[in-house]
Structure 1
Amino acid sequence: MLDEFHRDMRMRHAATFRHNVDEILEDWAGGAAGNIIDADDEHVHNAAKHCSADILLTMNTNDFGEAVLLPSDLCTADEFLCLVESSSPFVVRSVTRIQNTHWQGRRDKGHTVESLVEALEHVGCPLFAAHVAEHLRVLAGPVKASKPRRNR
């Protein structure tokens, strides 16, 4: 029963992933990549080269050698998400609203969860988290100042 559940979950996630990703490589040429410092990352370099990827996303930028020698721009997730923010801030605000609702819903159901901003910081996206925090402030609306009390 558990195996059937896991198989079903993998298939549903795979369908969602395939719907939202431009290209999935099933096979590509391997081999040594001269500029790569860590041989365990050669497959990533070769896959990016094979599909002519514009951007290679990795949190492991140091192992790819000199960026000018790579076939793709090298970005961390934080850098990439900040690029998305700079080109489409209203899209990021819209997604921020949706994601914040999701995270709040998990908390409302009794789950112990971080805030959306804390989760982004936790996974290594502190710059993007700051943008999201600003979007959340805007989405919350202006803070109304309380009227001063009059002493009688």
Structure 2
Amino acid sequence: MHFLIPLLCLFLITSVSHAAEKPTTAAQSFRSGVVLTFDDRYVDQWVQQIPLFKKYDAHATFFVDHFYKLKPAQIAGLKKLQDAGHAIGSHSVNHIKAVDYVRTKGMKAYLQNEIDPSVKRLTEAGFPPTAFAYPNSSRSEEIDTALLKTFRHLRG
């Protein structure tokens, strides 16, 4: 993972176009860019990269699963990431494939067991999530529709 971050940052720097003047139309306000996201619970490794992100003025969203297993030092690490301008998102409670879960147990159970508790724990810890990343990219339109009632952004 460590070798990918400098490469991604270099790509980000060379890919982003910066407008010299303040945009005056909606079309001018759009800029090209790269979205950096990281999943799961590698908080210690993520925190180690804060200086690199800062060096390249890069920001990322860190999607966390199994939040209930994080140690206090890891939660403090997420706070450091947040304070450095990064976003913390939900990656469900148990990293379950959403499509399989909904097929066998239903949407209501998925929301009650995988989404709502994740949002609650993250919010209580000071990380109200506005984005969700599907574990294993397991998604469907039906699940997207349900999750867009809770999140602004979904990543498949």
Structure with greater strand share of residues = 2
Ranked by relative contact order (alpha carbons within 8 Å, sequence separation 6 or more), the top structure is 2
TM-score range, shorter chain: under 0.3
**Which one has a bigger Cα radius of gyration?**
1
Structure with greater helix share of residues = 1
Q: With structure 1 as the length reference, what TM-score do the two structures score?
A: 0.26
